[in-house]
Amino acid sequence: MLAYTLKRLGGILITLLLLSFFTFMLSRVVPGGPWMQGAEIPMSDQQVAAFKEKYGLDEPPWKQYLLWLRNAAKLDFGRTFTEPERTVTELIRDTLPFSALVGGLAATLAITFGVTLGVIAAAHQDTWTDNIATSYAVIIGTIPSFVLGFVMKYFLAAELRWFPAGSWGDPSNWRDVAWHLILPVVAFGLPATGSVARWTRQCVAEAMSSDYVRTAKAKGLRNTAVMTKHVLRNALIPMITSFLPLYPGMMTGSLFIEKVFGLPGLGKYFVYASTNRDYPLVLGITMFWAILIGLTYFLTDVLYGVIDPRVRITERQQ
Amino acid sequence: MSDETTTPQPQSAALANDTMINHALKNEPSLAAEELFTVEGHSEETQYASFWVGAWRRFRRNRLAMFGLVFATIIILIAIFVPMLTPYEYDQIDMPAALQPPSHEHILGTDELGRDLLTRILYGSRPMLMVGVLTGLAGLCIGVPIGVLAGYLGGFFDWIVTRLIDMFSALPWYLIVLYLVMVLSPSLQNLMLAMIITGWVGSCRMMRGLTFSIREQDYIEAARALGIPTWRIIAFHILPQAAPLLLWGFAAGIPTSVFAEAGLSFLGMGIRPPRPSWGQMLADSEFYWQFWPHMFIFPSMMITTSVLAFQGIADGLRKALDVSENI
């Protein structure tokens, strides 16, 4: 188990190194930079030179990369181009909670609702309940969150005036924040219920058609006992491994919904940094997400090994 | 929804590959017929004239898939013939007519610059199809050869390809695409380039896995023993088996690409104005949506319907070709 864990960790580290190398080099090798992007007053050559010197851009790229890597190992991603008074790390720390809250709540909503729907559909296979649930999952899954956000904003906020149409509300008052969060979280979480429900239905249906379930039924176990003790426990393993990464995935994906509702999260800054070619900020956020996602996959893998002994056995055989 | 979804999906990856190959073997052309008879997995379905005829019959029974096919055909025709369909230009500014609700002259109304919304929506089908369909095709052209070679040759080349696949899978695709578009500077061409750079990974991974498992089959060993050259084994024994899987993989990538084009244009990282895209039109309504809802409702409908249509085609193909989803 230890060898397996170390092997996974090593693989993730190699991937992160490669990713950081390619993204860094790409930003340095491709011509152009923040000083060229639609500035109203173009910088003079001296200004560009001074700017490059300030951020160490006049060094050869490999030297810059090594320096960046050494700092990044300490989670220091340098200073941003657009807001020099803040470091990238500070900016991530300040804005991450917003994205984490929206993404985390949306992922929770998607998983609770999607799993419920998927289990119901699988338990009533090929009935009209199943048909409705599956059709719902297909259709809701194809609506992009930013489209649903706009539609909900128009009907529920502007027309009916049930909810606020955007912004974060008063951060010191959690009720106000929660009130402002409802629309973004629902608009972001609802489309994700589609894929969750479909995957749950498939996992549960697969478990239901296996031999041990037939045995359990033949033994005369009641339906609920079969479902909870045999079907769900076995279906849970593939489900956990695909739903745990949903959390960092939805946190990164919140950039679309943040734009719709004007939320001051990390996604908004990522888009802002991208449009302004703020390389340190974009690199920092990208690597931060990659580390977070890598850690989640690592945790999932380890968890999988703990829950499912079959993984360990096949690993040993290989 | 359909009977295929209820068939038990095999649990382990190895099993999944086995059944997939059996399905793939059914449509193997007569070339490798002798070897085929020894492989189990033939079912009653072979009564069809051919695998593809049977697949088409199954596809036709799927209502959502047929809706998708009809919608896709219409939208492709619109994208080709749009200059003949509308009396307006997509960048024809008419300030006195700005922000009109739907009327007889402007069927879907006008935007904040008085441009005809219907014209802009019809023109918006072009970037959607270019990113949605063309980048997928280009991704296949890169991903399939690399995947087959990595799976067939193994060794160091396979190691490098695996590292690359891992690297591209370390982040959600939209972050990588956003990053690439930023470095290359935003435009439709660069968005397409970024989608191709990230898009080859899926088909490459699929082909690598498939080739890996086919390579171990007896009839490939037999072919190798007969002295058949590697390129012939790949072209006549491996690629035909991958055809259903690849067709489905291509179709399944389209909804994501349509979403990508709309989403990145929405974030201002896609197509450049004045050329219209549905996602960009949605972002343009930022200050007007409350009082002129037609400005966001029609682009929203187009984005959602296209994604649904292409998703319907992909789902229909998956069931018709009977490819397993978890490969």
Task: Categorize the per-residue pLDDT at B158 as very low, low, confident or very high, splitting at 50, 70 and 90.
Answer: very high
Looking at the structure, do residues B239 and B166 belong to the same domain, yes or no? yes
Q: B5 lies in a domain? A: no
Looking at the structure, do residues B60 and B192 belong to the same domain, yes or no? no
CB atoms inside a 10 Å sphere around CB B4: 13
In terms of C-beta density within 10 A (0-12 exposed, 13-18 middle, 19 or more buried), how is residue B291 classed? exposed
Reduce the secondary structure of A130-163 to three states and give it as a string: HHHHHHHHHHHHCCCHHHHHHHHHHHHHHHCCCC
Instruction: Report the pLDDT value the prediction gives residue B191, as an integer from 0 to 100.
Output: 92
Q: B124 lies in a domain? A: yes
The minimum CA-CA distance between B82 and chain A, rounded to whole Å, is 25
Q: For A167-223, how does the pLDDT look when each residue is reduced to its tens digit (9 = 90+)?
A: 777 777 788 888 888 899 999 999 999 999 999 998 998 888 888 888 988 888 888
Looking at the structure, do residues B225 and B99 belong to the same domain, yes or no? yes
Last-in-domain residue among B40, B66, B92: B66
Closest CA to A103 of A63, A67, A137, A145: A145
Q: Give the mean pLDDT of A262-266.
A: 87
For residue B268, the chain A residue with the least C-alpha distance is: A275
Q: For B72-90, how does the pLDDT look when each residue is reduced to its tens digit (9 = 90+)?
A: 999 999 999 988 888 888 8
Angstrom distances, CA of residue B38 to CA of A63, B35, B83, B323? 60, 6, 57, 22
List beta partners, residue A87.
A79
Looking at the structure, do residues B83 and B156 belong to the same domain, yes or no? yes
Instruction: Report the pLDDT value the prediction gives residue B92, as an integer from 0 to 100.
Output: 80
Looking at the structure, do residues B216 and B97 belong to the same domain, yes or no? yes
Cβ–Cβ gap B6/A205 under 8 Å: yes
Cβ–Cβ gap B289/A150 under 8 Å: yes
List beta partners, residue B116.
B110
Give me the half-sphere count of Cα atoms (radius 13 Å) on the Cβ side of residue B175: 31
> Residue B110 gets which letter from DSSP?
B
Q: Which of A150, A246, A288, A310 has the most B C-beta neighbours within 10 Å, making it the best mutation to test the interface with B? A: A150
CA–CA separation, B203 and B147 (whole Å): 7
CA–CA separation, B92 and A41 (whole Å): 30
Looking at the structure, do residues B46 and B94 belong to the same domain, yes or no? no
Cβ–Cβ gap B8/A286 under 8 Å: no
Task: Categorize the per-residue pLDDT at B102 as very low, low, confident or very high, splitting at 50, 70 and 90.
Answer: confident
Instruction: Report the pLDDT value the prediction gives residue A80, as an integer from 0 to 100.
Output: 80
Looking at the structure, do residues B126 and B62 belong to the same domain, yes or no? no
Q: Mean pLDDT score of chain A, rounded to an integer?
A: 84
Q: B3 lies in a domain? A: no
Cβ–Cβ gap A209/B269 under 8 Å: no
CA–CA separation, A92 and A59 (whole Å): 26
Closest CA to A51 of A79, A29, A30, A71: A79
Task: Categorize the per-residue pLDDT at B324 as very low, low, confident or very high, splitting at 50, 70 and 90.
Answer: low
Q: For B245-278, how does the pLDDT look when each residue is reduced to its tens digit (9 = 90+)?
A: 889 889 989 999 999 899 999 988 888 888 889 9
List beta partners, residue A53.
none
CB atoms inside a 10 Å sphere around CB A131: 14
Residue B47 is part of which domain span? 13-66
Looking at the structure, do residues B136 and B255 belong to the same domain, yes or no? yes
The number of folded domains in chain B is 2
Cβ–Cβ gap A138/B64 under 8 Å: yes
Looking at the structure, do residues B22 and B107 belong to the same domain, yes or no? no
ipTM for the whole complex: 0.85
Q: B6 lies in a domain? A: no
Which residues, 6 or more positions from B174, have their beta carbon under 8 angstroms from its beta carbon? Answer: A253, B260, B263, B264
Helix axes A246-261, A145-152, angle to 10 degrees: 40
Q: For A114-152, how does the pLDDT look when each residue is reduced to its tens digit (9 = 90+)?
A: 999 999 999 888 899 999 998 899 899 889 999 999 888
Q: For B44-62, how does the pLDDT look when each residue is reduced to its tens digit (9 = 90+)?
A: 444 556 888 888 888 988 8
Closest CA to A67 of A20, A111, A100, A110: A20
Q: B140 lies in a domain? A: yes
Instruction: Report the pLDDT value the prediction gives residue B44, as an integer from 0 to 100.
Output: 47
Last-in-domain residue among B21, B49, B66: B66
Helices vs strands, H then E, count in chain B: 15, 0
Looking at the structure, do residues B40 and B112 belong to the same domain, yes or no? no
Residues of chain A with C-beta less than 8 angstroms from the C-beta of B311: 138, 141-142
Looking at the structure, do residues B59 and B105 belong to the same domain, yes or no? no
DSSP string over A89-102: HHHHHHHHHHHHHH
Say whether pLDDT at B38 is over 70: no
Q: B1 lies in a domain? A: no
CA–CA separation, A214 and B192 (whole Å): 51
> Percentage of residues in chain B with pLDDT exceeding 90?
28
Instruction: Report the pLDDT value the prediction gives residue A188, as an integer from 0 to 100.
Output: 93
Instruction: Report the pLDDT value the prediction gives residue A314, as an integer from 0 to 100.
Output: 62
List beta partners, residue B110.
B116
> Residue A53 gets which letter from DSSP?
H
Q: Give the dihedral of Cα atoms B150, B155, B160, B163; nearest 10 deg.
A: 90
Q: What is the CATH number of the domain that holds B166?
A: 1.10.3720.10
Residues of chain B with C-beta less than 8 angstroms from the C-beta of A209: 6, 8
Cβ–Cβ gap A256/B267 under 8 Å: yes
Residues B295, B284: contact at Cβ < 8 Å?
A: yes
> Percentage of residues in chain A with pLDDT exceeding 90?
18
For residue B4, the chain A residue with the least C-alpha distance is: A126
Pair of tokens at residue B228: 């058949």
Looking at the structure, do residues B59 and B83 belong to the same domain, yes or no? no
